[in-house]
Amino acid sequence: MRQIMKVAMLSALACSASALSAQIPTPNDLLEYYLSEKPYHPNTPFAASMGYLAHYDDKIRELLTAPQPNIELARLSGHAQLCLRAVGSRSSNSLLPTLYKQDGQCTAISALNAKRDWYYTDQQCNHSIEYKQGSDTQYCIRNFDYTARNYGNSRDLNHVQDAWIPGYQSILPITTLPHSTTQLPLLQRNTYKTTYNKNGACHLEMRVYKKANSHNATPLMLIHGGGWVARQDTGRSAEVQIAHFTEAGFMVYMPFYRLVSNVGDAGAQCNNVDIEESKQDIKDAFLWAQNNNSNYTTSDKSIRIMGQSAGGHMAVWLSQQFPDKIDKIAPMFPVPDFAHQLQEVQNGSYDKPYIKWMLTQLTGKTSWQDLSMQDPIITNNSLLQSIEIDPDNAPAMFISHAMKDNIVSVSQAMRLCNAASGDIVGGPAQKSSLIFNEQHSITQCNAKSELHLLEFGSHHFDVCYERPCDEGGFQGEQAIKSIMTSMINWLK
């Protein structure tokens, strides 16, 4: 009976996009339906996920013969579900901008059916953009390649700036703060840097998001996390926040960077670099954004920097490279003080496996126990002392972290706040004096910077596609929403 009901549900889904909001099939259900070779309506989000699975048909057949449980097959089918959710999240064509063509007069056309061409975004035909709609299946293959080698890799552009396309990924419904999007942001893909190693060329992508007619938007650079060794899942966790920002009046730069260690998911051409090379990529990405900013916005505001986890570290580091150009940063669950994080690991006060593994991957050491406070990677990535010495020269900071973070110690955010006060050890952020109001604590670090802590919640509290959104119950969910909303408004 359960199998009959499942097939009936999938059959309805295959014929009706409206069913998507009622019930999302599991990754395994999608795979079962694909293997059953049952028919489906070609013009639905379901068709995109079926096309995605068809693209990997040979690999699926191979993986089906492998021993169970098969992690690779589960990841492949899981990405098919993300494809379904991303394409389905547009919900209606009303989220797409109105485009115009000039044939004697300015005539509106449907963005959904637009081929690659030049169009106008206003009724007066004054503002032109190159736009293309593209195939939903091809969109999914590029953005949800389960091997991760396509994500953030712009080799397909051949050094040519791509046309603007609908940014479905920015409203993927996996954020704790719900999307209330009035217009889907458009996405333009660029290559901001190309490097070479023995495996070939690494083409680093810069994604630019903005609303079609948002000409004076505040510029923001969003740096994804991943411990410098991963980018697909953590990059997506950053990218799905973007529609919150474009809705609030921002245009967003999202760069990808090379990864440390050969376990990285960026492909052999973009893996196995030193952490300083990853940081150099972000520095070059910022310079690219500075040089191209006038092509995207007329705003005279400085580029704001937001970073998550490893990206939070690089947001702090980048502000130290350009103190006269960056005046606002928002480090989320950052790791800006390698020395103190290593000290907590070695003395047992923060006994979490991921940070130990990350430190060994970044250093090439056999064990975290072999690390020394004098190792260059530790001294070069302990960023707080320079802030403590001259806090007036540091940017304004909106720092956020969760007390139950099992990836990065909350002491990292607290010490960053204290450094901004001029006293890393004795500053205002002390565990003994924290006061949580409905699971949300706010500490004023100095006149321009503040620390927001969650009483519960974990690393990447801003997304919830692999766990409940309501860590800490209803109050916890509301606290996360409050922090995210406050951060967006603060960055303006």
**How far is the C-alpha of 175 from the C-alpha of 469, rounded, in Å?**
8
Using DSSP, state whether 250 is helix, strand or coil. Answer: strand
Ramachandran class of 25: left when φ > 0, alpha when ψ lies in -120 to 50, beta otherwise: beta
**How far is the C-alpha of 171 from the C-alpha of 163, rounded, in Å?**
20
- Taking only Cα atoms into account, the Rg of the chain, rounded to an integer number of angstroms, comes to 23
pLDDT for 365: 85
**How far is the C-alpha of 219 from the C-alpha of 144, rounded, in Å?**
27
The dihedrals phi and psi of 441, each to the nearest 5 degrees, come to: -115, 135
Residues ≥6 apart with Cβ < 8 Å to 71: none
Residue with tokens 């509290």: 461
Cα 105–Cα 111–Cα 112 angle in degrees, nearest 5: 145
Nearest to 279 by CA among 313, 252, 305, 304: 313
Stated as kind and residue range, the H or E segment containing 243 is helix 242-247
Segment-wise mean pLDDT, segments of 10 residues, the chain, 492 residues: 42 46 80 92 89 96 89 94 85 81 91 92 95 89 86 87 91 89 94 96 96 96 96 92 97 97 87 96 98 97 98 98 97 98 95 91 86 92 97 97 96 98 98 96 98 94 76 90 97 97
**How far is the C-alpha of 271 from the C-alpha of 410, rounded, in Å?**
29
313 within 8 A of 307, measured Cβ to Cβ: yes
β-bridge mates for residue 204, sequence order: 153, 193
Residues ≥6 apart with Cβ < 8 Å to 29: 6, 9, 10
**How far is the C-alpha of 269 from the C-alpha of 466, rounded, in Å?**
29
**How far is the C-alpha of 393 from the C-alpha of 389, rounded, in Å?**
9
The dihedrals phi and psi of 45, each to the nearest 5 degrees, come to: -55, -30
Q: Omega of the bond prior to 428 within 30 degrees of 0, cis?
A: no
**How far is the C-alpha of 414 from the C-alpha of 396, rounded, in Å?**
15
**How far is the C-alpha of 483 from the C-alpha of 487, rounded, in Å?**
6
**C-beta atoms surrounding 136 within 10 Å:** 24
319 within 8 A of 387, measured Cβ to Cβ: no
| Distance, C-alpha 141 to centroid of its chain | 18
- Sign, CA torsion 312/314/320/322: negative
Encoding tokens for residue 151? 């994500």
First to last CA, the chain: 54
DSSP state of 109: E
Supply the pTM of this predicted model. Answer: 0.93
DSSP state of 393: G
pLDDT for 401: 98
**C-beta atoms surrounding 141 within 10 Å:** 18
Pairing mode of beta strands 396-402, 450-454: parallel
**How far is the C-alpha of 400 from the C-alpha of 381, rounded, in Å?**
19
Residue 248 burial (10 A CB sphere; 0-12, 13-18, 19+): middle
**How far is the C-alpha of 450 from the C-alpha of 442, rounded, in Å?**
7
Got the DSSP string for 174-215? -BSS----SSPPEEEEEEEEEEEETTEEEEEEEEEEE-TT-T
* Comma-separated ranges of CATH 3.40.50.1820 domains in the chain: 137-491
Encoding tokens for residue 395? 């940017």
Got the DSSP string for 89-157? TT-SGGGSPPEEEESSSEEEE-GGGPPSEEEESSTTS-SEEEE----HHHHHHHH--TT-SSTTB-GGG
Pick the CATH number of 137-491 from 3.10.180.10, 3.40.50.1820, 3.30.930.10, 1.10.40.30: 3.40.50.1820
Pairing mode of beta strands 304-308, 218-223: parallel
